[in-house]
Structure 1
Amino acid sequence: MANWCELQYDMLEVIAQHLTKIEDYVAFGAVCTSWRAAAANKKKNFRGIPLWKQIPCLMVAAKDENDVGDREFYSLLENEVVAKVKLPKLKGKRYLEALGWLLLIGEEGDMSLLNPFSSGPEISLPNQNTIPGYDRYEPDAFIFVEKFVLSARPSEAEEEEVEDYVVMLICGSVRFLAFWKPGDQSWNRIVLRVSVYSDVTYYNGQIYAVDKKGNVVVCNPKINGEARILATLCDRFWYLKQLYIAESEREESLLVVTRDNFPFFDDDVEDREPRYGTAEFKVFELDLSAAGGGGGGGQGQGGSWSSSRLCLKEIKSLGNRALFLGHSATVSFEVPSNGKLAPGIKPNHIYFTDDCWLGYGATAGGGGKDMGVYNMETGTVEPFYHAPKVLSYICPSAWITPNF
């Protein structure tokens, strides 16, 4: 019987170059070391990789309480579950996603980075208890972190020099910003906090965050970790809303997005569950060039930019972009003009998953029900995932951008 592991490398490359689907690629690289080496040359040997590295797919929540780490991945391109991956390291962990990497969080505050589509090593991070002020917030380590982003994808080499990327967290009961760089022995905290932070993104070398009062701040964690306010939304736009921040289709600009998924409770019902569900998004554009490009501009009283409101204006269209937001890092995806390159992905639409912490924490079975796709032109919501309802108290279904 032939030993498939002994196939010549050139032959393995020829086989790999015919792969277009994610499940085939994952299975190919899992055969043995030589097959994984052929799969590792992604740009050359996997025709599907350009799209799969850009378009998020849905990482479906665990289906029962006896979670052993197995996960299904639903593709908008294929309109079906395209991969079932065994991820035993997810067992007993909570996780968040950014750039295809998972931040794994244990009950004791231990944290690490894991690429679920790679056999590379898990990257250990300092424990939550090294975050300045950690003990002041009576933390439940399992739910201490609400969001995380990466400035760049980490290398997966076993032995690397100190790499140039940053891990940024929104954490604590008052939702402040903290960051870590390779080589640091502990977490660092961002100085400025006007209100509870809602979302954070990395753009053009700097970190931008938006809080629940509509303040947009900028900081460069590689310099000093200090932040300043760039702009502020009028309270009639942010009140009782979830806010997100993402890249715009225009250069030197960002988008601030509001979502009306704040939960409501019926006071006259005993053991009541919250009522919530997304019906509307509003999008505002922040002109960074008018705000000093994030690096200049005068500051008024309280650290806010004196003319900041002039930099934010409501827009009615995302142009050729689609947004993916929810229980993961917010993604702004430029939809190719040729629909054949990204079938199933619609420009000027917002794809969202359930991230209403106040809602699904008090809902029987947990969260995950508030998912859909919002049409910016018509203001309507449609479902995109028709599988049986899968709920979770700590890890609802979330977007993940595969990184092979």
Structure 2
Amino acid sequence: MLNYMEKLPDEIINEFAKRMNCVDDSVRFSAVCKLWQNSMAKIRKEKHIPFGPWLMLSTYNEDQGLQTFYDISREKIVNLPLPHNKVKERRCFGSQFGWLVTIGVDLHIHLLNPLSGIQISLPSQPTFQHQYKIHVEPEDLRHVFMTKFILSSNPSDSDQTCIVIAIHSELRRLSFAKPGDEAWTYIESSYGGYQDAIFFRGQFYAINSKGVLVICEIDAPHPKTIDFAFPPEDIGIFGNRFYLIEMSGELLLIERLFSSPTENASLGDFYYITEAFDIYKFDFHSSSWVDLYDLGDHALFVGDNTSFSISTIDYPEFRRSCIYFTDDHRELFENRFCDMGICDFKEGTIEPIYLGDHVLSMFSRPMFVMPTL
């Protein structure tokens, strides 16, 4: 039967591939043989619209080698095969182009495409500068040392060199590396406390906990940051989170506002609850931030992933002018609460995004991924 399917004309195979609109069907289609896999990859690249965002949940079934995801648009649990040595007990971070970044107890760091299973090595954690001054066990380092990873391009694109920016260490510094490098290269900066970064218009930008925007000069003989913009005048500082997102060619700054730490009397745990978001658009003519009050036909996704936006015209199953968010208070992951939901930006209301199991984890909470073959 398999040989018969492999001999189908390319035109018929391609026509089938064009009709695959959900990820799990596409994965099964690609698994038939190399020819079908190549056809699916070509069609997805030509359409330029990846599958809609999923939540990667905190559950891995070791016996069956399955990682659990939640298809938000179809409100459906999907289990995909992933070898245990690629995700089990590894701290996972969402990044662009459908790739994850993982770090395990062995402190090895990899890029991983959860659909294709392709894995690419990055320099390991001990090659970063600014290690902790006290000894931290590897099982704890995988949890606390790394904050976020940002990619310049798709690692599977042979026409471009993928550069990865990492936010790391106790003071949340910046470093970068490429697949094949032996070590991470530190980016000198007068600041620490970086919370997010973005590859925008051919450059890396980063935002710190004070809302200062910098450019990362990684091509310089001594890589460094250059101050680029002051924070908005009305921005809050203490305890809030900042994210950088590109939306329709514009650079946005998202401020996530939390309630004061709350104690759950029945559990004895402290936790934060997201109350609202403020959003600003950067005006490159005046080099200043401008308040934004409507996201139009777009939705934003923030949390333990590279921040990104989608068009709700291309993805009508997602809600316009809404912010989808996951829990990135990693210092409270040991507590039994997960701050995750959907914020209607215009109305100011917040509701749950997922109410099932598989959300609590000591080192990897749910995160958004854009599945890409």
User: Is the structural similarity TM-score above 0.5?
Assistant: yes
Q: Return the offset for 1:247.
A: 1.4
Q: 3-state SS of the aligned residue for 1:194?
A: coil
Output the CA distance in 2 between the equivalents of 1:246 and 1:213. 17
Q: Considering fraction of residues, name the structure with more strand.
A: 2
Task: Name the % identity.
Answer: 30
Amino acid at match of 1:353: T
Alpha-carbon distance change, 40 to 105 in structure 1, aligned in 2, over 3 angstroms: same
2:312 corresponding residue in structure 1: 335
TM-score (norm 2): 0.87
Q: Return the offset for 1:283.
A: 1.0
- Extract unaligned runs of 5+ from structure 2: none
Q: 3-state SS of the aligned residue for 1:42?
A: helix
2:148 corresponding residue in structure 1: 147
Alpha-carbon distance change, 133 to 37 in structure 1, aligned in 2, over 3 angstroms: same
Asked if residue 185 in structure 1 is aligned to residue 182 in structure 2, the reply is yes
Equivalent of 2:200 in 192, 203, 211:
203
Check conservation: 1:95, 1:104, Cα contact below 8 A: yes
Amino acid at match of 1:32: C
Q: Return the offset for 1:73.
A: 2.6
- Tell me the C-alpha RMSD between the 2 structures: 2.7
Check conservation: 1:101, 1:116, Cα contact below 8 A: yes
**Mapping 1:316-331, distance limit 5 Å:** 316-331=293-308
Q: 3-state SS of the aligned residue for 1:19?
A: coil
1:306 corresponding residue in structure 2: none
2:290 corresponding residue in structure 1: 313
Check conservation: 2:128, 2:183, Cα contact below 8 A: yes
Output the CA distance in 1 between the equivalents of 2:328 and 2:20. 34
Alpha-carbon distance change, 134 to 9 in structure 1, aligned in 2, over 3 angstroms: farther
Asked if residue 348 in structure 1 is aligned to residue 345 in structure 2, the reply is no
Equivalent of 2:67 in 71, 88, 93:
71
Q: Return the offset for 1:271.
A: 8.1
256-265 or 179-188, which deviates more: 256-265
Q: Return the offset for 1:219.
A: 1.4
2:353 corresponding residue in structure 1: 384
Q: Return the offset for 1:17.
A: 2.9
Equivalent of 1:273 in 265, 269, 272:
269
Output the CA distance in 2 between the equivalents of 1:138 and 1:196. 21
2:7 corresponding residue in structure 1: 7
Alpha-carbon distance change, 70 to 60 in structure 1, aligned in 2, over 3 angstroms: same
Amino acid at match of 1:12: I
1:114 corresponding residue in structure 2: 112
Q: 3-state SS of the aligned residue for 1:260?
A: strand
Output the CA distance in 2 between the equivalents of 1:44 and 1:210. 31
Check conservation: 1:9, 1:34, Cα contact below 8 A: no
Amino acid at match of 2:328: D
Q: Return the offset for 1:248.
A: 3.7
Q: 3-state SS of the aligned residue for 2:24?
A: helix
Alpha-carbon distance change, 290 to 68 in structure 1, aligned in 2, over 3 angstroms: farther
Output the CA distance in 1 between the equivalents of 2:217 and 2:296. 29
Q: 3-state SS of the aligned residue for 1:40?
A: helix
Q: Return the offset for 1:142.
A: 0.8
Output the CA distance in 2 between the equivalents of 1:58 and 1:346. 16
Q: Return the offset for 1:348.
A: 1.2
TM-score (norm 1): 0.81
Q: 3-state SS of the aligned residue for 2:331?
A: helix
Output the CA distance in 2 between the equivalents of 1:50 and 1:273. 44
Q: 3-state SS of the aligned residue for 2:223?
A: coil
- Extract unaligned runs of 5+ from structure 1: 292-310
Q: How many residues align?
A: 363
1:303 corresponding residue in structure 2: none
Asked if residue 231 in structure 1 is aligned to residue 229 in structure 2, the reply is yes
Check conservation: 1:209, 1:218, Cα contact below 8 A: yes
